[in-house]
Chain A
Amino acid sequence: MSDPIRLIPPLSDEVVASLRSGDRVLITGTIYTGRDAAHKRLVDLLDKGEELPIPLQGEIIYFVGPTPAKPGNAIGSAGPTTSYRMDSYSPRLLAEGLKGMIGKGGRSLEVRAAIKEYHGIYFAATGGAGALLAQRIKKAEVVAYEDLGPEAIRRIEVEDFPVVVINDIHGNDLYEQGVIPYKK
C-alpha cells in the first residue's frame, strides 16, 4: 500500500479532483459531525432559505453519533454510521458547497452523480472502530441542535484521521471495484 495522502480542510476543487478511489487519506483539522436528524434540519433550513448553523464551503461532514465523553476525554467512541441514510440529503448539501463526507457503506447513484457534478468526495472510515477513531479526535464542541443529543452537530478537531476514498469525481466506486478481484 502506498503512503497515505494528508489533507487539511477546507478542501479546494483542485485537491478534491486529485483524489482517487482507493486512496488512503489522513485528515487533520476541523470537520463537522452530522447524521440523520441533523441532515434533515439542514435541508429544511435550505428549503426555507434560512442560514445554516455551520459553514459548508469546502467543509467535510462526518456521519457519526458519538457516545457521551467520559470525564477527561474529548469525545466518546466515534466511528462512522451507515451513509445511505443521508443519501436523500447529501446532493443538496454538495450543491451548497459541501466537499467531503465521511461514513461507511455505498451511496446512491444520485449522490455519486452529485459528487461528480459538484466536485465532492466520499470517504469511508472503519465501521466498528469507534474507540480507535475517537483517539484521533482531539476536541469536540456541540455547535448546533444540542436537543438531538448524539445527533447534534459537533465541530471536531481531528489529527491524522484515517479514511479511504470511496467515490471520486471521476465516477469510481471502491465498493464496486474492490470486490471484483476477490469474487469467486
Chain B
Amino acid sequence: MREINVSEVVKTVSRLCVDANYNLGADMVRALDMALAIEESPTGKDCIEQLKENAAIATRDQVPICQDTGLAVIFVELGQDIRIVGGNLDEAINEGVRQGYLEGYLRKSACHPFTRANTGDNTPAIIHYRLVDGDALKITVAPKGGGSENMSKVVMLKPADGVAGIKEQVVEWVRQAGGNPCPPTIVGVGIGGNFERSAMLAKEALLREVGSLNPDPELQSLEDELLEAVNNLGVGPQGLGGRVTSFAVHVKMLPCHIASLPLAINIQCHAARHKEAIL
C-alpha cells in the first residue's frame, strides 16, 4: 500500500492556495478575450479590458487577482490504496491553508457567524472528500469569494415544473443577482440528487474548464439554451448593461427521488480560481 506523508499534503495545499489566487486559469483568460469580441456596450468592453489587465498585473506582480481570496474550498480524491501517514489528513489540509494564506499575503475571510470575529488564518477550510480507485491523491483548491457565493440557492421544484421550470428559475435568478456577483459569471447548475447533493453538483459544475463541452449532449444543449437566455437579459459586465452576462452555464445532473426535482444554482465570478495537483 502506497504511503503519503501529511507533510506533502501541507506543502501542496499551501502552494495551490497561492497559485489559484495569483494566476487566473488559461480558460478564463480565453473567456475574457472571447467576451471582449462579443461585447457591444462600451462600458462593458471597458470592464472586460480592466479584468484582463487585472489578471495580467496579478500574474506579473504575483498578487491576488481579487481581494476576496475566498474561503478555501478543497476537493480531495483519495485513492483507496493509499495510506496517509505522519498525521491527520484533515489537519494537514487546514495547515496548508493556514500557511498558504499567511505566506501568500491572502486575505483571511473566515469568521464566527454571530460575533463576526475573524478566525485569523482562513480556517476551517471547506473540504470535500471522495474515495476513488487507485493509489493517487488528487487535491483541487478552489477559493470561493463571498460576493458570488451569496448569489446561490437551492430550490426544491415539483416534478411537474420540469425543464421549463428549471430554465425559468435559473434565468430569473441571474437577473435578480444583477451586478452583485461581478458579472460576467459562470453559472453552475446542479439538477437532481437530493437537497445537499444538488448543491454539490452545482459547485462541481464550476470546476469544469470554461469552453469545454458537457459530456452529455442533452445537457450541452440545455447549457447553450440557458447561456443564450441569461445573456439576453442584458445584465452585462458588472451589471451595467451589455451582451455578456455570463461566460458559460455548466450543468451537472443526477437521478432524484420520484417526488422531487432539486435545483441548485451556484454563481462564480470571472475569478474562477481552481488549481489541482496529483500526489
Contacts and interface: CB of A to CB of B under 8 A. Distances in A.
A76 B64 contact: yes
A5 interface: no
B136 interface: no
Interface string A123-152: 010111111101100000000000011110
Contacts of B240: 124, 164, 174-175, 178
B234 A67 contact: no
Contact of B241 (A66, A150, A181): A181
A105 B180 contact: yes
16 contacts: A1-B43, A64-B67, A65-B67, A65-B107, A67-B106, A76-B105, A106-B179, A128-B271, A129-B50, A131-B54, A131-B55, A132-B53, A178-B239, A181-B41, A181-B241, A182-B243
B47 interface: yes
A84 interface: yes
Contacts of A179: 233-236, 239, 241
B241 A182 contact: yes
B67 A76 contact: yes
Interface string B45-76: 01100110111011001011111110000000
Interface residues of A, number: 47
A109 interface: no
A184 B108 CA distance: 41
B120 interface: yes
Contacts of A104: 147, 179-180, 182, 238
A66 B54 contact: no
Nearest to A83: B180
Interface string B115-147: 010101000000000000000000000000011
B54 A68 contact: no
B178 interface: yes
B242 interface: yes
A82 B58 contact: no
A128 B180 CA distance: 11
Interface of A: 1, 36-37, 64-70, 73, 76-79, 81-82, 84, 104-106, 124, 126-132, 134-135, 148-151, 162, 164, 174-175, 177-184
Given A68-B107, A132-B53, A77 B63 contact: yes
Contact of B41 (A66, A126, A182): A182
Interface string B24-38: 000000000000000
Given A76-B64, A174-B240, A179-B235, A149 B120 contact: yes
A130 B64 contact: yes
B91 interface: no
Interface of B: 40-43, 46-47, 50-51, 53-55, 57-58, 61, 63-69, 105-109, 116, 118, 120, 146-147, 150, 178-182, 232-236, 238-243, 269-271
B116 A36 contact: yes
A127 B182 contact: yes
A106 B178 CA distance: 8
B107 A76 contact: yes
Contacts of A148: 118
Contacts of B68: 65, 79, 81, 130
A10 B239 CA distance: 28
Nearest to B120: A149
A77 B65 contact: yes
Given A178-B236, A184-B234, A126 B51 contact: yes
B10 to A, nearest CB: 21
A181 B234 contact: yes
Given A67-B106, A126-B238, A180-B241, 17 more contacts: A1-B43, A65-B109, A70-B63, A76-B105, A82-B147, A104-B147, A106-B180, A128-B51, A128-B66, A128-B271, A129-B53, A129-B54, A131-B65, A132-B57, A175-B240, A181-B41, A181-B234
A37 B40 CA distance: 38
A3 B239 CA distance: 22
A4 to B, nearest CB: 11
A36 B115 CA distance: 12
A132 B61 CA distance: 11
